[in-house]
Structures are given as structure tokens and as C-alpha cells.
Amino acid sequence: SVPIKHSGRLRLRAVNYNRWGGVGGKDTAVDLHILLLVSLPGCTPQRCGRAVTDSVVTREEAQVLRRLAERGLALAGSEGGASILDLHSGALSMGKQFVNIYRYFGDQIGDVFTQEDFQLYRDVRGRIQAVIAETFGLDPTLMYLTKPTFFSRINSTAAKTQHDEYWHPHIDKVTYGSFDYTSLLYLSDYGSDFSGGRFVFMDQNGNRTVEPRAGRVSFFSSGSENLHRVEKVTWGTRYAITVSFTCDPAHAISDPALP
């Protein structure tokens, strides 16, 4: 595996997409001819790629968001190694299923989260949206949050259901449908908070690996040019936020707000 270089600055790694779905890496951005059923000017990907930056979210902000995730996930959690908390829909892992955290815990939510927590979450989401738009040459007003957008907590506990099996290679556009751009904000550090758990882009000419670090943002176009997987966590706990965007307003979701 080859780590993606960043040095605190954005580095877009564009990818050539050929008619057979093969992928070949280049270090400079290239325009792509993409066949799409619906083209939405200002947002629909005209070039594909990936980038990593440490300059959008501070480590201190990441630590605050991690504490938010820890408080929310302390209410329940998966029996397997992967739990999620979705502030938008209210979905929270509980055993082998999910509950709506706002309905299930009701008035207790005001003791778990604050308005300041949600404001920071919205601010960070806006910054991530802005940097994706700048990097890919998009109009940020034509990008919309889409589901699922969620906190994740992963540890080395054995999987109990398919929802716990986070490590399989996949393409976000295929898995989720509405995704056009995917981002990951990491809330814990590879090597000190956990081992394993690195994010691996699977390219024909060699894997490219992102090592999680609190405050680091990795983002990419969601199509077949960015087949990826997450390594199994072998010890410790990995926290992150997946923030996903669509070009189709029909698949838009709103920012979360306390009931």
C-alpha cells in the first residue's frame, strides 16, 4: 500500500476511467467522459478523484465531535464491532438492530447533546462541503447532503450481522445510489487509538492508503474510480464521520437539529 501524500494541503489524485470500468492512476487532474442518466450542471462530476487534507477541521474540533459520538453511542451500540449514530435520521445501533434515538430516549437526549454540539457539526459539514466544491470545481449551492451521513465506531469485536462487516470492498455509488461525493472526517488516530482500520483505495496499479488522524478529512468522487475498503480494526476504537453529498435535490436531507 502507498499512503496518499497531503502535507496539510489538498492533493487531488485524479483517476482515468475507461469504458471497461478499469482504473489507472495519474497525479494530475484529468477531465473524464462519464455516462450519466441525469446530468445536473454545477454538481454532476466532470472529473473524478480523491484528496486528503488536515487543514479543514482542527484536532480540537475533532475531539469535541468524538465526545459527542461517545455520548450518543454509550446509549446503545451494536453487538458486533461496528456501530453507527445518524443524527439526521436518529438511527442508532442497538444490539442487532437500529432504533430511533430521538423517539427511544425521548427527553433524555437533552442531557446527551447540546445545541453547541449540533452547531459545530453543521459548521464542520459546511466546511467539508466547501472544500469538496472548491477541489472539484462545483457550485456548493447545488450540492446536497444525502443519506446515510453518520458517526461510526469500530472496534475488534467479532461481527454479529452483515451490518458489522464494514471491511468488504465496495463502490459508494453502487452501494448507496444517491452518493456523488463521499467524505470521511476522522476523530481518532491510527497507531495510538487503534490499529488496522485504515482506508484503502483499491487501484489496478497498487493500493493507496489513508491513515486516519483526528481532524483529517478524506474525500472522493463516489463512482467506480474509487473502489475502496476499510481494514479490520485489530485493537482499540476507531471513530469517524461519513458525510455524503448528492447532486439530486430529490435525495437531499436536512441538517440535524435537537427536537
Q: Is residue 28 part of a domain?
A: no
Q: Domain for residue 133, yes or no?
A: yes
State yes or no: pLDDT of 128 exceeds 90.
yes
CA distances (Å), origin 11, targets 4, 28, 159, 210:
8, 9, 35, 13
Residue 259 lies in a domain: no
Say which CATH number the domain at 133 has.
2.60.120.620
Mean confidence (pLDDT) of the chain: 87
53-74 pLDDT tens trace: 999 999 999 999 999 999 999 9
Does residue 15 lie in a domain region? no
The answer on pLDDT for 15 being more than 90 is no
Mean pLDDT of 229-245: 98
Question: How many other CB atoms are there within 10 angstroms of residue 196's CB atom?
Answer: 16
Helix/strand/coil (H, E, C) string of the chain? CEECCCCCCCCCEEEEECCCCCEEECCCCCCCCCCCCCCCCCCCCCCCEEEEECCCCCHHHHHHHHHHHHHHHCCCEECCCEEEECCCCCEEEEECEEEEHHHHHHHHHHHHCCHHHHHHHHHHHHHHHHHHHHHHCCCHHHCEEEEEEEEEEECCCCCCCHHHCCCCCECHHHHHCCCCEEEEEECCCECCCEECCCEEECCCCCCEEECCCCCCEEEEECCHHHCEEECCCCEECEEEEEEEEECCHHHCCCCCCCC
Q: Tell me the mean pLDDT in the region 150-175.
A: 95
User: What would the pLDDT profile of 177-211 be if each residue is shown by its tens digit?
Assistant: 999 999 999 999 999 999 999 999 999 889 999 99
> Minimum mean pLDDT among 13-22, 83-92, 109-118, 125-134: which range?
13-22
Residue 20 within any structural domain of the chain: no
Expressed as residue numbers, the domain containing 239 is 42-251
Mean pLDDT (whole number) for 209-232 = 97
Residue 57 belongs to some domain of the structure: yes
| Count: domains in the chain | 1
CB of 72 closer than 8 Å to CB of 163: no
pLDDT attached to residue 42: 86
Report, as residue numbers or ranges, the catalytic residues.
238
Q: Could you tell me if residue 16 is inside a domain?
A: no
Q: Which three cell numbers stand for residue 255?
A: 441538517
- CB count within 10 Å of CB 103 equals 10
* pLDDT of residue 4 exceeding 60: no
Lowest mean pLDDT among 3-17, 23-37, 74-88, 215-229: 23-37
pLDDT of residue 30: 29
- Decide if 165 is inside a domain: yes
